[in-house]
Chains A and B, each alone.
Chain A
Amino acid sequence: MRSHSRTSGFSQMAVRILLGGFVLVPVGAVAALSLRSPLSLRVTDLAGAMEQFLSWGQYRNILFHSPEYWVCFWNTLFLLVPAMLLTILFATLAAYGLCCGRRTRGQAAAVMLYILLSLLPMQILLVPNFVALSAMGLIGSRLSVILVCSFSPYYVYFMFRICRQIPSEIFEAARMEGAGELKIYRSIAMPQMKSGIWLLVLIGSADLWNMVEQPLVFIQTPSKYPLTVFLRNMDNSAGYAGSIVFSLPVMLLFLLCGRDAAEQIELL
């Protein structure tokens, strides 16, 4: 028994080191390269090596010498924040509507519809979305991307999985007390789904932060493109630092709501 637990202890250690290394090495490598000086200096002594391999040059280039970076940064935010807020609103409303009542056929059919639609890759939906948006005359504006993203069916299905875990007796009890549906949604369902909403914010923002396809097709104005499109064309003089700076807000968000989110993933 003892030798058994020792071997299992060894394999656990091995898995942790391998998987941990696998995830961390790329981040570490890019972080290390982001400190390389954008100029190639000739390294002759220790001071020279320090200057070559530990410089803030790339960060200086990004933060102070590339105005386009900041224009695109704000472009990304202008798309992300409204889309995220609308997603939360529509997805929680729909999730509450789907699970507050009895399980009927209509409800099951609606859930199935959301699942099927969320299977479709967005590239296939580009044509249908484009048709709808041009019929509404929205092509070229930021609103086009915001609207298409905020009705994303995947997040409704996702919030439904979260909302389903709230015991329905709570809703029943509140109804007995005479609370209206809107009141139940606001003061019971929303607080109960809180950590689920944080997970939604994390997944949704990470996804919107990376947006490439929809802006390219629906906005069609380079001055309104988000940051990912811009970062593609960046060379090594600032590219590594650019990726790190770009990753920081997401890492920060992960630190802020990672605990709530992980708790929620475990229940999914």
Chain B
Amino acid sequence: MKNIRRKQIAFLLPSLLGLTAFFLVPLFYCFVFSASRTFGRFRFSGLDNYLSLMGSKAFRLAYGNTFILMTGYIAVLLALSLTVSYILENSRGTMAFLAVTSAAMFLPSVLIVRFAGILPGAAEKAPRLVFLFIFLWKHAGINALILRSASNRMDPAWREAAMIDGAGKGQFFWNVEIFHLLPYLKFLFIFDTTCFFKLFRESYLLYGLYPPDGVYMIQNFFFNNFENANYQRLSSGGTIAVLTLFAVNLLVYKAGEKREITQ
């Protein structure tokens, strides 16, 4: 038995080695140097980097925008795809339709950015709406597909029992179905978070490295400050962002855990 476990670890080894070399050790290194005056030779400076970062207007703008837009966009996306999957019935045609609409996620950014460029003045006047449009366009299909197929897997006996007791479709949805969908919604939250940060590509294609204030996000801040090579300050920014992300996700993960229905 022990022998098998050793072999299993051997399977994990290549990936873990890469993870350690490219992510874990350097992340830890950056975390340590976020409290140093210079990068590469440690000279303790306490919270100086953090304080100077908080004082920076660009960082506050980027941090605030990221927080607001991320929660707002993901909320709209999940609401939209829940509505779609609620209205569409469980049939082969529906699944094929949703599979085709989810193709949008795989299409290159240049395509949708070209389209956003056609609408006159939109990119300058309403950048947040344009970003929302792009975000929904790319991900509404795949989110609805995942939710719809999760609903399909629900035990049909539940619905029948509820119908016999006189519950309508809406009542059943809010009292039972939503709790069945909760674990999937959480998975989608993680998935959509990673997708949200990829909006940097559309941003770069639309505006280059300096987007308008409304959509100036933490990704832009990091990218632009990279050029200045002030790595210790970037490291403290990274630490703040990492901690916020972990906290938000822990919160989401714990939310409504007791009422979740898993089969």
Contacts and interface: CB of A to CB of B under 8 A. Distances in A.
B200 A26 contact: no
Given A22-B140, A181-B8, A258-B99, A206 B15 contact: no
Contact of A212 (B29, B95, B200, B235): B200
How many of chain B's residues touch chain A, expressed as a range?
35 or more
Given A94-B15, A119-B249, A125-B23, A210 B109 contact: yes
Contacts of A122: 197
Contacts of B9: 97
Contact of A93 (B11, B107, B142): B11
A122 B245 CA distance: 13
Interface in B27-70: 27, 29-30
Interface string A143-182: 0000110110110100000000000000000010000010
Given A123-B200, A228-B108, A265 B142 contact: yes
Given A213-B200, A250-B106, A94 B193 contact: no
A121 B190 contact: no
A128 interface: yes
Given A128-B26, A210-B201, A247 B145 contact: no
Interface stretch (B84-92, B173-181, B254-262): B84-92
A251 interface: yes
Given A101-B8, A148-B22, A151-B19, A258 B142 contact: no
B11 A124 contact: no
Given A262-B99, A266-B95, A121 B105 contact: no
Nearest to A11: B87
Interface stretch (A42-50, A59-67, A190-198, A236-244): A236-244
Most chain B beta-carbon contacts within 10 A, residue among A97, A116, A123: A123
B26 A132 contact: yes
A181 B4 CA distance: 8
Contacts of A265: 99, 102, 142, 145-146, 149
Given A29-B118, A30-B118, 9 more contacts: A23-B137, A96-B11, A97-B10, A97-B13, A117-B23, A124-B241, A124-B242, A213-B204, A228-B110
Interface of B: 4-5, 7-16, 18-19, 21-27, 29-30, 83-84, 87-89, 94-95, 97, 99-112, 114-115, 118, 136-137, 140-142, 144-146, 149, 152, 187, 190, 193-194, 197-198, 200-201, 204-205, 208, 218-219, 222-223, 226, 231, 234-235, 238, 241-242, 245-246, 249
18 contacts: A12-B88, A23-B140, A23-B141, A27-B115, A89-B14, A97-B11, A120-B242, A121-B200, A123-B200, A125-B23, A127-B231, A131-B30, A207-B198, A212-B204, A228-B205, A243-B114, A258-B99, A262-B95
